[in-house]
Amino acid sequence: MKDFLESLNEPQLEGVLTTEGPCMLIAGAGSGKTRVLTYRIAHLMRKGVDPFNIMALTFTNKAAKEMRERIETVVGHDARNLWMGTFHSVFARILRTEAHHLGYPNNFTIYDTDDSKSLIRSIVKELGLDDSVYKQNTVYNRISAAKNTLIGWQDYLANPQLMGDDAANMRPEIGKIYRTYAQRCFKSGAMDFDDLLFNTDKLFKEHLEVLNKYQHRFQYMLVDEFQDTNLCQYFIIRKLAAVRQNICVVGDDAQSIYAFRGADITNILNFERDYPDLKVIKLEQNYRSTQNIVQAANSVIKRNRAQLPKNVWTANEEGNLIELIKAVSDNEEGRLVATSIFQEKMQHQLKFSDFAILYRTNSQSRAIEEALRRMNIKYKVVGGLSFYQRKEIKDLLAYLRFAINQQDEASFRRIINLPKRGIGDSTIDKIIVAANDHSISIWEVIQHANSFIGGRAAGPIDDFVAMIKRFSLEIERKDAYDAAFEIAKGSGLLRELYEDKTVEGLSRYENVQELLNAIKEFVDDAEREDKSLGSFLQEVSLVTGQDEDKDKDPEKVTLMTIHMAKGLEFRNVYMVGMEEDLFPSQMMLSSRADLEEERRLFYVAITRAQKRLFLSYALTRYRFGRLKNCEPSRFLDDIDQSFIKVSSKFSGVESTPPPSQYAKKLVSGMKKTVSSAPVNRATAYKPPTDFTPSDTSALQAGMKVEHPKFGFGVVAQMDFSGADRKARINFNDVGEKTLLLSFAKLRILS
């Protein structure tokens, strides 16, 4: 046992060895909680606990996979028998066995967010409601929030407060949409993501024999990232742990940042109320970051009132002070950040993968991306369009899903006329109406198309039914890959994509081939027992954004929102857009709870950094089509002044005035630079409306040029040394300037 226990510090070891009774590990940022969870499970198995009797819940499949692999290195292949995975994947596994108790087929379809919103859009249309009022995102989020707080449609309609809120918001029919949506999902044999939790709770509540079965199966329960659980998740795990009470939750209240998804921080703040004999263990040593970064983060988070007391510390080096970069505009902010990354990389022999740029909202990436491209710095944006959300992928997945579950209305709507087979929207509407009027499934309707539909559409519908029946037989006889290939070919999708010879068409065809490759990889996995198409589809439906990050060229700067960065770490981190109304967000200033969540988000951003942290802000930024004057974020004042300095590289200032004053000094200093420096005579110059920059690749000394800010000038000298071409230009009004031609906008006059 010493081989893995002796590497732990004292609190970590206590967390591993305290296996009986309720236990809460308060794990500060970078404190090695994954190691503790991993070794705790390995220790249980070494003690003789059957892995089939251990449930470990995480928030991403990636985290579960990494933990399982680490446990395997300690205890061997038996770790594969653990009930380990995300809340959704583990409870989907239970529902696959028990769903019949709730009237669902065991091969129920799992709707992703797009499927759910599409169905909501159809219901709004069928009910004759205004889709500009009942927007699909608004309705979807309202229904999701209800399910996460265990409010079914019946309770929703009977709740005067909820109905009153909807009426006050001019959306009084949301309850009716919720009822119709739930009924249609049930009739389609489908559950959305929230149903995987909501229905598990309902299963345990209404069928005590099923609950009793799993209470005795899972002798030990472990929950990672407990601060991110919602009410529904907490109720389920509390029910499961009620008999043996061997529940261990791991989390950090200071990193609770998902309230907008339904996460309830009171789950961790009040955990001790539900378990009076709770053992609390604090993991406070940070192994990730320098002392300056850790102490700066502490100085920020201590300003929150709602928190569990802890003192995070580190034995690492003191490290550099946090650097504050100030810029005139968001475009200049991007340029300064890109330049800093390039310089840091060259000076310290780093890789681009050592850098991450974090922002509050996705829209901030534009100026950053443009600056990185100008300097030929490779980057990747995490959180873009998911592979499994691309149209051609969803088209084939819909065929696969409908071939398995013919009650699936969302998949039916997607594929009935794809490729086109002469079945129009009016015919599809007739099918849906007939199914609703006769309280039967769409499959029953289309199997008797002549009786319900008639006309010219009956023939193509009969052909479609025959094709689906053929596909169903293929699924029964073949593994996932062979069946999927036959469906892709037999449906006509492969042929249609292959015949599209455009660049986009080729890309779509390659994407479908990549999906088939993924299915083949799934089938060829020797350790996988269930190689059925249904098993593959369930795995795909539960993939998260982080699980898909398989960039084949890792040597890139990472760009992502702070929410996406949770759980990650980088050597150097740039946090951009540190401005009021942007961070903290203007939407999060209405209550102390919201503001404290924003501060926790800032704490998460700070603690992603290992060696260097840079914070930047702009004095002006385009937002919603308008140029907006900005002021530094109040969060900059939260950082103890001894841990931060203004970047001397860019601003010409290096000082650490008191935190309550330096934000104002930075603003006034920047305004003074803009308003009084000699260069500002050029601001009087206004370029003509037809000003268009020239290609400067052939620029030579002696040429006359025009600059949109500095006016007219003559090139005095060209400099080709280093990575960038430079031009020294004598301008008529502002004198000599040396410009990087990769950035400068010049019009060559002669």
Tokens found for residue 257? 């940042």
Which residue type occupies 278? L
| Full DSSP string of 272-337 | HHH-TT-EEEEE-B-SSS-HHHHHHHHHHHTT-SS------B--S---PPEEEEEEEEHHHHHHHH
Q: What SS3 class is residue 236?
A: helix
- Of 367, 334, 288, nearest to 614 by C-alpha is 334
Q: How far out from the chain centre does Cα 536 lie?
A: 22
- Of 363, 371, 374, 369, nearest to 625 by C-alpha is 363
Q: Measured between alpha carbons, how far is residue 278 from residues 57, 249, 309, 581 in Å? A: 19, 11, 16, 40
Kindly name the residue from 224, 252, 579, 706 that is annotated as catalytic: 224
The three-state (H, E, C) secondary structure of 172-203, written as one string: CCHHHHHHHHHHHHHHCCEEEHHHHHHHHHHH
369 part of the active site: no
| Contact partners, residue 669, CB within 8 Å, separation at least 6 | 651, 653
Q: What SS3 class is residue 632?
A: strand
Q: State the CB neighbour count (10 A cutoff) for residue 616.
A: 26
Kindly name the residue from 34, 544, 641, 656 that is annotated as catalytic: 34
> What CA–CA distance (Å, rounded) separates 449 from 457?
8
Q: 707-730: buried (b, 16+ CB within 10 Å) or exposed (e) per residue? A: bbbbbbbebeeeeeeeeebbbebe
> What CA–CA distance (Å, rounded) separates 721 from 727?
11
430 part of the active site: no
224 part of the active site: yes
> What CA–CA distance (Å, rounded) separates 579 from 591?
19
378 part of the active site: no
Q: Where are the beta strands (DSSP E) in 312-450?
A: 322-329, 355-359, 379-381
Q: Measured between alpha carbons, how far is residue 33 from residues 17, 51, 386, 692 in Å? A: 14, 20, 29, 56
Kindly name the residue from 38, 136, 227, 255 that is annotated as catalytic: 255
CB-side exposure of 158: number of CA atoms within 13 Å?
Answer: 5
The three-point CA angle 126-128-132 to 5° equals 110
Tokens found for residue 10? 């004292």
Say what the alpha-carbon torsion angle 254, 260, 266, 268 is, to the nearest 10 degrees. Answer: -50
| Contact partners, residue 466, CB within 8 Å, separation at least 6 | none
Kindly name the residue from 147, 600, 608, 737 that is annotated as catalytic: 608
- Sheet of 220-223, strands arranged across: 83-86, 54-58, 220-223, 247-251, 23-27, 279-283
Q: State the CB neighbour count (10 A cutoff) for residue 743.
A: 14
361 part of the active site: no
> What CA–CA distance (Å, rounded) separates 221 from 32?
19
225 part of the active site: yes
Annotated catalytic residues are 33-34, 224-225, 255, 608
